[in-house]
Chain A
């Protein structure tokens, strides 16, 4: 085979990929580059460029370090709680159980409710003395006077619970799609060999849905990391910065304080965090794939 046909063969897929790549450049890189550039501009209308002052200010601030920590807790809390539940739900959904068929449509409700609306519903549920969540938390904690939205830990738990409620459907659909692609013969063969349900899950279902799991977790991580609107509507970042995740801080800096350069710097931290999570998920997926 000569070089020419190979090169020709490479040109065709490249050309086909070009429109998608151009769109990616247009809608992702074009706004991203000036955004990142803004992060290196000192605050104020006559800011100097380039400057590291936004980063040094943020890293020197106890509040911002806390914002990052809260973001991490938020992501770990949501992904950690939504993933196992979504796995169970997807396993149930893909079984041919007639009574569960209606659940597929119902499952999507949390996802289609506008986030701010669902946040306000959760805020009412955890509101003062009367909210059902308040009563539940009081029962769990044994504190009869607990006011969840005035206690940073319980307020954070409410935010995680709300995002968990919203994330489970997406994750479930992703995993159910993955489970549906596994050929039935694999399970039948294993069953013939005497494998139990748990063994079949562990040796067939789980390894073959790892990619779906990684993508689903990545999506939920990205949603949670960027989530300012639901946290803002639920707690406003309070009490006393107790639920002020980095995305809420970004929102406040940009739209309340008019500090766009600081907001851009926070955005770059969130971008870096998202990339770290992506690498982590993909690395663990590849490691697992290599052991197969």
Chain B
């Protein structure tokens, strides 16, 4: 009997405590997680916990509640939660979704907060392409926490074996194709290619438009989207040239593996490069550099040290006219439904402290100029990454970016896999996209 009473009292106490806990004011921070990231995820989590501890020390009456949302769904979640009336305070966001956030109105305008910053602080942070993308029609929706950019990584030993100078990598597309031809090899003499000169990805995912089609389109003088008319405009002469270049790499020059049109970006670019099946990997992201360090292909570069050097691999900026590669970041925003925007911005400022940003595992390359100025970054490796970051470009300002990316990927696959006419195929896909969204 006594036992039962004790149990009942304990249950009531737990219920009361949890109800009390729920009612307590908290700062809701929605951060990203990647279920397949493994140790990388743990590093991010550890970093985040450190930032939260720092914030809670400064705001003892406002504990932080961490909400983890899958990385590629966090923007959609912020929007759907806004529609459903579900509140967050701080939300991680992606620059490519800013037009959609702007249209939906789920993020708070940070302009009044940012305008209070000193010009030095602004100058330190506002140089990256993502900074510009995080502002839509004069409304600042987010602040970048890092820079994610891409370039071409290559095997120095393979360059030497093919009679190429690793200190003088390709500077334009013609040189790139010629180098790739020399690097493509049948090592065991069975008539099948074992090492491909150039790794490209033309699969069903967003990487296709971001890392391959868009940089080539910009190179040939084209654009993906016209913001004034709200029309996709990729089916142009430059668009056709871009598709032809990709198609030629696979079918004419045979420097790119034919399986580049399936699987994921990791399957086609990262893994084959690490396995030595690809000599130059176009679209190599800075988030993969840690693996190079772990393999011993670079030393003392991730994390950066003054002694850092390249051992087995080198990097060069995408050799197009514009040198522009898709560049984005994880940005940080305040949800429109936040009831404590001032406290939320205070959390953002904690995140943006140089000492925190410098060690943020998901930051990519530094977003603060002051970090770039440190001696650890004064080497060839980081000079190239900085050049890539400065030349980088965001994706176009359309609220239907994901659909645009799928449309382009499908058009490219149709041309490359079914040998469809490039001009007609691009036009058909473009019209379908414009019919769906852009025409009144």
Interface residues, chain A, with chain B CB atoms under 8 Å away:
44-45, 57, 61, 63, 123, 127-129, 145, 147, 149-151, 155, 235-241, 252, 254-258, 260
CB of A258 within 8 A of CB of B80, answer yes
B428-439 Cβ-contact flags toward A at 8 Å (1 or 0): 000010001000
**For the complex of A and B, 6 pairs with smallest distance between CB atoms:** A238-B204, A149-B262, A236-B204, A128-B259, A240-B413, A256-B402
The reply to whether the CB of B418 lies closer than 8 angstroms to some CB of chain A is yes
Which residues of the other chain, B, contact A61 by a CB distance below 8 angstroms? 432
Name the distance in Å between B425's Cβ and chain A's nearest Cβ: 9
In the complex, which residue of chain B has the Cβ closest to the Cβ of A129? B259
A-contacting residues, B151-203, CB 8 Å: 192, 203
Contact of B436 among A57, A127, A256 (CB under 8 A): A57
Interface residues on B, range: 20 to 34
Q: Are A63 and B83 interface neighbours, CB within 8 A?
A: no
B-side interface residues toward A, CB under 8 Å? 73, 76, 79-80, 83, 100, 103-105, 192, 203-205, 257-259, 261-263, 267, 400, 402-403, 406, 409-411, 413-414, 417-418, 432, 436
- Tell whether, in the assembled complex, residue B73 and residue A255 are in contact, meaning their CB atoms are under 8 Å apart: yes
Residues in A with CB closer than 8 Å to B79 are 258
List residues of chain B with CB within 8 A of the CB of A44: 103
B402 lies within 8 A of A239 (CB) = no
With A257-B400, A258-B79 as given contacts, are A235 and B262 in contact (CB-CB < 8 Å)?
yes
Tell whether, in the assembled complex, residue B104 and residue A45 are in contact, meaning their CB atoms are under 8 Å apart. yes
Partner of A127, one of B100, B205, B263: B263
Interchain CB contact under 8 A, B258 and A239: no
- Cα distance A127–B258 when bound, in Å? 12
The answer to whether A239 touches B261, judged by C-beta atoms less than 8 angstroms apart, is: yes
Q: A63: which of B73, B261, B432 is its contact (CB, 8 Å)?
A: B432
Pair B263/A252 contact, Cβ less than 8 Å: no
Please give the distance in Å from B136's CB to the nearest CB on chain A: 15
Given A151-B417, A258-B76, are A238 and B258 neighbors across the interface (CB < 8 Å)? no
Residues of B within 8 Å of A254, CB to CB, are 76
Check B80 against A150 for contact (C-beta < 8 Å).
Answer: no
Q: Total A-B pairs in contact (CB under 8 Å)?
A: 80
| A155 to B406 alpha-carbon distance, docked (Å) | 18
Who on chain B is nearest to A237 by CB?
B204
Can you name 10 extra interface pairs (CB under 8 A) apart from A150-B259, A238-B262? A44-B103, A45-B83, A128-B257, A128-B263, A129-B259, A151-B417, A238-B410, A240-B410, A257-B403, A258-B80
Choose among A150, A252, A255, A256 the residue that contacts B261 (Cβ–Cβ < 8 A). A150
A136 to chain B, nearest CB (A): 17
In the complex, which residues of chain A have a beta carbon less than 8 angstroms from the beta carbon of B203?
A: 236, 238
How distant is the Cα of A63 from the Cα of B259 in the complex, in angstroms? 25
B435 to chain A, nearest CB (A): 9
A-B contact pairs, 6 of them (CB 8 A): A45-B83, A123-B263, A127-B267, A238-B203, A257-B402, A258-B402
CB nearest neighbor in B for A241: B410
B residues near A147, Cβ cutoff 8 Å: 258-259, 261-262
CB nearest neighbor in A for B401: A257
A255–B76 alpha-carbon span in the complex (Å): 6
B368 to chain A, nearest CB (A): 32
Check B103–A239 contact: CB distance below 8 A.
no
A145 touches B403 (CB 8 A): no
CB–CB B100/A258 < 8 A:
yes
Residues in chain B near residue A256, CB distance under 8 A: 76, 402-403, 406
Contact of A240 among B83, B257, B417, B432 (CB under 8 A): B417
User: Which chain A residues border B105 with CB–CB below 8 Å?
Assistant: 45
Closest to B272 in A: A128
Q: Which residues of B contact A145 (CB under 8 A)?
A: 258
B400–A260 CB distance below 8 A: no
Minimal beta-carbon separation of B219 from chain A (angstroms): 24
- Minimum C-beta distance from B365 to chain A (A): 27
User: Shortest Cβ distance from B234 into chain A, in angstroms?
Assistant: 16
Report the minimum CB–CB distance from A163 to chain B (whole Å). 19
Q: In the docked arrangement, what's the CA distance between A38 and B417, Å?
A: 37
Other-chain residue from B103, B267, B409, B436 in contact with A238 (beta carbon distance below 8 A): B409
A239 pairs with B262, CB closer than 8 A: yes
- On chain B, the residues within 8 Å of A241 by CB distance are 410
A147–B104 Cα distance when bound, in Å, is 41
Residues of A within 8 A of B257 (CB): 128
Closest residue of chain B to A145 (Cβ to Cβ) is: B258
- Bound together, the chains give a CA A292 to CA B79 distance in angstroms of 57
Q: Choose from A45, A236, A239, A258 the contact partner of B417 (Cβ within 8 Å).
A: A239
Question: Distance in Å from the Cβ of B335 to the closest Cβ of chain A?
Answer: 15
Least Cβ–Cβ distance between B74 and chain A, in angstroms: 11
Contact yes or no, B80 A239, CB < 8 A: no
Most buried by B among A57, A63, A151, A258: A258
